[in-house]
């Protein structure tokens, strides 16, 4: 008799996902499922936010949120709480794990998820903290090896604390088993990402077996010590004596609905001529949930301000001066026209008297690229195309050397950071001589420290923020002046004024002017890294402001804004450049973006 072939890995899970997509005849449903696979617990509000934040350009219908949660890919585990099937989740994550695009996307989702969790833990203290802890740990495993190791260490420490409590009798047996069930389930869910700590995964598997069927546990395994870093884990004998009633209690405490006995009939496929018993009908009632197109109240609070007493308070305003270069038709002399404007921002406190100012960038549409009649333009800046920007918060200034030094002192996530890399020294000068890889590490550390998802701007976000609703080569107007920006002032643009070539960076806000959004130093001083991979033109570029990536993780990255040693035309709003992600030079810096400041 020929051996029975083993079914391919994930065959059942793949078929389940394919059926889900085919049912609605929309491949975008698969994209939503992939994004929803990373959180351990789903809520309608969270799925709505994932769709609006990451899938704007994919035309994923809002109904897909409901369809996903009510499909057989997910099950309800509490009031407005859903969990994706463990095996389906593992299949979806493994399917995309080798893609450079999806690796970057999962990190972005993780940063947003950490921000979301930290926000809920502060403004909704009634939210189950165990659920939020699980979400945070699930996000950490996607933020690099160091963060993944930290998540493993935290789980091991909690398991050790519960095991010690079992030995001392400080907690009830019911509470101990419930907590062990929760922690071991989290570990098993994250097992594909915790491969560097196999002892933890194996220990969690043993604990689950001991809770479910203690008689099947190998006694040798019970005597084994599972070493996770400097933590030694063993299984307490108090875990072993557990009956069906206690299993039901464990399920309830761990966040699952009570277990019920299910009576059912099995069927066999029979020959065509066989006689079937009469079919019976059953009346059932179905419920369809509809969610508003807008994001939920919590996420509105994240983006708009702090809710107090039934209202959402706006962010604090600040005043700044904008400048426009104008020239009378009968004169060759340029004059600077100044006026005061207001905008909103929040302040991220990094240390004593060290603040990161994040300015509100309102949503809107703009024409990206340069018109064909703009002086000194290049083919890199075409075709000009309309882009819709959802809005965000952007650093009012480039990151300074003092801010860099503070973040560089925080725990490493992926790359090491020099505390003082800049060529031109000064706490209030922009940091420079930093690579794209180092800048991403800076954002990751800042995110982990603050609980907010900081990142580099996309190229579209950068140009939109620089222009601030202007269509001229500079937000100053048709030309630029050394009195307003730091560049090689020996050269002129569009018959503009000539002036000083400073040959070094200037401190932030040196010129004490900003654009209409309240951003300073967008033209000159230092080139600024963006998220995007380099493309030679805008053919095929996204139109929703999202990051434009290629399949090449080592691709060159986009730079914007020009620098202290550049010609004036290189500092135009539409000007583009690029360098390798590991390249550093004394004219390259950056500023950061935050999509939703979750703890405001």
Do 227 and 372 fall within a single domain? no
Helix axes 28-36, 86-96, angle to 10 degrees: 110
What is the SS3 string spanning 119-186? HHHHHCCCCCHHHHHHHHHHHHCCCCHHHHHHHHHHHHHHHHHHHHHHHHCCCCHHHHHHHHHHHHHH
- Is the omega angle on the peptide bond into residue 383 within 30 degrees of 0, that is, cis? yes
248 and 367 share a domain? Answer: no
Domain that holds residue 144: 11-253
Q: Are residues 377 and 523 in the same domain?
A: yes
Question: Does residue 123 lie in a domain region?
Answer: yes
Residue 575: which of 381, 314, 288, 301 has the closest Cα?
381
Among 253, 272, 303, the domain-final residue is 253
Q: Are 447 and 114 in contact (CB under 8 A)?
A: yes
CA–CA gap between residue 106 and residue 29 (Å, rounded)? 17
Domain boundary among 219, 253, 287: 253
DSSP 291: -
Q: Return the pLDDT at 270.
A: 46
Interval 52-100: pLDDT, tens: 888 878 888 888 888 898 888 988 876 667 888 888 988 998 888 888 8
Question: In the prediction, which pLDDT does 98 show?
Answer: 84
- Determine the Cα–Cα distance for residues 264 and 594; give it in Å rounded to an integer: 52
Q: Each residue of 332-362: pLDDT tens digit?
A: 788 999 999 999 999 999 988 899 999 999 9
For 85, residues 6+ apart whose C-beta sits below 8 A from its C-beta are 13, 16, 72, 73, 74, 75
Positions of the chain with pLDDT under 50: 1-7, 126, 241-261, 268-271, 274, 276, 281-313, 599-600
The predicted model scores a pTM of: 0.56
Give residue 285's pLDDT.
Answer: 42
In a domain, 413, yes or no: yes
Residues 452 and 587 in one domain: yes
Number of neighbouring beta carbons within 10 Å of residue 85: 17
pLDDT at residue number 42: 85
Q: Per the domain annotation, does 318 fall within a domain?
A: no
pLDDT score, position 278: 55
User: Within a domain: residue 291?
Assistant: no
| Domain at 533, CATH number | 3.90.1580.10
Q: How many domains does the chain have?
A: 2
Give dist(CA 70, CA 288) in Å, integer.
9
Tokens describing residue 247: 């299993």
Let me know if residue 258 belongs to a domain.
no
The reply to whether 396 falls in a domain is no
Q: What is the pLDDT of residue 552?
A: 87
Sign of the CA dihedral with 387 first, then 388, 390, and 393 last:
positive
In a domain, 569, yes or no: yes
Q: Among 214, 233, 253, where does a domain finish? A: 253
Determine which helix (DSSP H) or strand (DSSP E) holds 346, and give its type and residue range. strand 334-351
Report yes or no on 336 lying in a domain. no
Tell me the pairing of strands 527-533 and 588-589.
parallel
């Amino acid at each position: 008799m020929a051996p029975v072939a083993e079914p391919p890995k994930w065959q059942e899970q793949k078929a389940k996902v394919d059926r889900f997509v085919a049912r609605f005849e929309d491949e975008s449903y698969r994209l939503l499922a992939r994004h929803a696979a990373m959180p351990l617990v789903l809520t309608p509000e969270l799925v709505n936010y994932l769709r609006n934040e990451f899938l704007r350009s994919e035309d994923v219908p809002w109904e897909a949120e409901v369809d996903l949660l009510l499909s057989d890919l997910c099950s309800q585990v509490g009031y407005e709480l859903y969990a994706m099937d463990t095996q389906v989740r593992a299949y979806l994550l493994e399917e995309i794990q080798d893609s450079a695009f999806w690796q970057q996307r999962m990190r972005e989702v993780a940063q947003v998820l950490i921000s979301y969790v930290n926000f809920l833990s502060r403004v909704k203290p009634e939210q189950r903290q165990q659920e939020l802890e699980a979400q945070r740990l699930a996000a950490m495993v996607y933020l690099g090896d160091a963060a993944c190791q930290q998540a493993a260490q935290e789980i091991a420490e909690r398991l050790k604390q519960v095991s010690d409590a079992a030995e001392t009798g400080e907690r009830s047996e019911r509470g101990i088993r419930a907590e062990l069930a929760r922690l071991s389930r989290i570990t098993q869910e994250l097992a594909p990402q915790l491969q560097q700590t196999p002892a933890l995964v194996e220990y969690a598997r043993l604990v689950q077996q001991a809770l479910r069927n203690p008689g099947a546990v190998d006694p040798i395994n019970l005597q084994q010590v599972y070493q996770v870093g400097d933590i030694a884990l063993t299984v307490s004998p108090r875990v072993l004596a557990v009956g069906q009633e206690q299993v039901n209690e464990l399920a309830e405490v761990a966040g699952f609905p009570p277990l019920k006995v299910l009576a059912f009939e099995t069927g066999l496929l029979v020959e065509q001529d066989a006689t079937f018993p009469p079919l019976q009908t059953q009346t059932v009632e179905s419920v369809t949930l509809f969610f508003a197109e807008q994001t939920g109240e919590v996420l509105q609070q994240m983006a708009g301000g702090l809710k107090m007493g039934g209202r959402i308070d706006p962010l604090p305003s600040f005043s700044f001066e904008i400048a426009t270069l104008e020239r009378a038709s009968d004169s060759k002399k340029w004059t600077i026209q100044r006026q005061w404007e207001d905008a909103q921002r929040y302040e991220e406190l990094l240390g004593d008297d060290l603040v990161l100012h994040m300015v509100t960038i309102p949503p809107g549409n703009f024409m990206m690229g340069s018109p064909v009649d703009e002086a000194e333009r290049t083919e890199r800046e075409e075709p000009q195309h309309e882009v819709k920007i959802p809005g965000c918060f952007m650093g009012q200034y480039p990151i300074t050397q003092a801010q860099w030094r503070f973040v560089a002192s925080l725990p490493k996530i992926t790359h090491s950071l020099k505390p003082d890399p800049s060529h031109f020294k000064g706490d209030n000068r922009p940091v420079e001589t930093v690579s794209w890889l180092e800048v991403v590490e800076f954002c990751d550390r800042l995110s982990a420290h603050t609980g907010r998802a900081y990142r580099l701007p996309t190229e579209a976000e950068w140009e939109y923020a620089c222009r601030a609703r202007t269509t001229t080569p500079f937000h100053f107007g048709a030309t630029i002046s050394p009195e307003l920006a730091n560049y090689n002032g020996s050269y002129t643009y569009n018959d503009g004024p000539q002036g000083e070539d400073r040959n070094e960076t200037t401190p932030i806000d040196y010129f004490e002017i900003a654009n209409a959004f309240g951003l300073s130093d967008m033209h000159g001083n230092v080139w600024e890294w963006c998220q995007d991979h380099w493309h030679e033109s805008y053919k095929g570029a996204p139109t929703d402001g999202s990051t434009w990536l290629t399949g090449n993780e080592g691709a060159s990255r986009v730079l914007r804004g020009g620098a202290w040693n550049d010609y004036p035309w290189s500092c135009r709003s539409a000007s583009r450049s690029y360098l390798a992600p590991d390249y550093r030079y004394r004219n390259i810096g950056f500023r950061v973006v935050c999509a939703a400041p979750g703890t405001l």
